[in-house]
Structure 1
């Protein structure tokens, strides 16, 4: 297959590109940076010049390919709502290039949207929270709209994706811990975040685009939930910082924008995904990667 990948030079994008090429696929990778274009070309991918702001570029990239994996997203949380709505536009443009065919579009979302059954981990077939509550749901709403128009669209929901260099929202928490001089968790710190190693996630994207199952929901989850207390204690030892519990009413002052996530218990299951795709994650666990954190 010739697969168009947005976010091809990103933390997850580059491993996805390498995974696809190793499996015998051709990759058309969207890139607007000269510096990153060289690294992308070195993987064997075809560099497709353009930006996420150009709907015509997106539509053409999709139209010229056998499938699309959409990974690009602006993670500037100071404009989170606007960025989520922009992703809605991007998904619509990609879908426009695939209409009238069975070629797959894989959209990226987060497992937190499916944490809708109290006391249970998020499951692939759970009802989801709308964008009026969690702005990131705009991506899944855009995918659902395309599905009603006959586009073969499915969703990969991400947990905290990690290696020793980066760990999703945990990377943002580390910056806060360094600034504040302490590693904190809220209350007893037993709330959990799901996680998966970046190479396991890359393999799941490949399996998802190869399966090309319409309306599928996949959870890229290796660990259902790692407690925030365990993360803070591991990071405290690694960064040589004290570890402390803070009250819920202190969270905003300590974590800032991250407070909306820091106290949330959001475990997630991947049982259905593993069964459908034959996906068995085997990469390092989150705590093991945090123990190997690159400390400057």
Structure 2
């Protein structure tokens, strides 16, 4: 399959690129500069430097593909960029059988101890713009799947090291996010990449799909698994440290099983869970 991939040099996108290539797909990766184009070419993909905010160019690239996975983001205009790509997908793919896989996020569902895809959205302010973009896609005649990743881990990157290693006080204790009792949905980056490919290869739109492993540790458990001492924090102090919008999202108490994902193309998480990964790292550090 000829797959158009955005975000191929990012944390998740890099793993998705590897998964696609390992399955024998022909990948065109849309990137922002010549250096990134060279990087994806070295890995076996075709690198194309293009501006996805250019509707005509985005539509042309999508129409030339047999499947599209969108993972790119713009930190300066997250909503505007995501909406522009979604609108291009509607223009390019409406009335076709070309699968389009968009990226959402588990936070869009708000708090819940058994979150399912059919639950109503209840996003924090940080991601309150996402439902509008998703509604645009799901109202169109496009075979769309919106993958909602949980907290992604693996490879020493992502939100976990930022909120553990990056949150230590002068005594080396990890400042918890609040009291740390909130659960986080989790998934290994390579398992998430496999899910994107499974959804694409299945060929039809699945609407919302939670990209989670079914392991939902508390933040206190996550911090403790690193082997460091922890320091509970009042929610007000967390908001002051992280900012109101980010703290609101980080304090969400979320649990989900990922059962719908497991019904797509035989997908199942295979890599170590987050706590297992962190404990292994701590053990290796301490030897």
Same fold (TM over 0.5): yes
Whether 2:139 is the aligned partner of 1:148: answer: yes
Counterpart-to-counterpart distance in 2, 1:198 and 1:141: 26
Counterpart-to-counterpart distance in 1, 2:162 and 2:59: 33
Change (3 A) 1:19 1:56: same
Corresponding residue pairs, total: 281
Map residues 99-248 of structure 1 onto 2, 5 A cutoff: 99-115=94-110, 118=112, 120-129=113-122, 133-136=124-127, 138-166=129-157, 168-174=158-164, 176-178=166-168, 182-186=173-177, 188-235=179-226, 237=228, 242-248=229-235
Unaligned runs of 5+ in 2: none
Change (3 A) 1:115 1:252: closer
Counterpart-to-counterpart distance in 2, 1:43 and 1:138: 34
TM-score, structure 2 normalization: 0.87
Q: Contact 2:126/2:249 (CA < 8 Å) preserved in 1? A: no
Q: Contact 1:2/1:25 (CA < 8 Å) preserved in 2? A: yes
Q: Contact 2:34/2:49 (CA < 8 Å) preserved in 1? A: no
RMSD over aligned CA atoms reads 2.4
Counterpart-to-counterpart distance in 2, 1:147 and 1:287: 35
Per the TM alignment, residue 280 of structure 1 is displaced from its structure 2 partner at its CA by 1.0
Aligned residue for 2:24, secondary structure, equals coil
Aligned residue for 2:8, secondary structure, equals coil
Per the TM alignment, residue 286 of structure 1 is displaced from its structure 2 partner at its CA by 0.9
Unaligned runs of 5+ in 1: none
TM-score, structure 1 normalization: 0.85
Per the TM alignment, residue 158 of structure 1 is displaced from its structure 2 partner at its CA by 0.3
Which deviates the most, 227-236 or 6-15?
Answer: 227-236
Per the TM alignment, residue 175 of structure 1 is displaced from its structure 2 partner at its CA by 6.0
Change (3 A) 1:108 1:48: same
Residue 250 of structure 1 corresponds to: 237
Change (3 A) 1:57 1:182: farther
Counterpart-to-counterpart distance in 2, 1:188 and 1:287: 18
Residue 66 of structure 2 corresponds to: 66
Residue 275 of structure 1 corresponds to: 263
Which deviates the most, 89-98 or 168-177?
Answer: 168-177
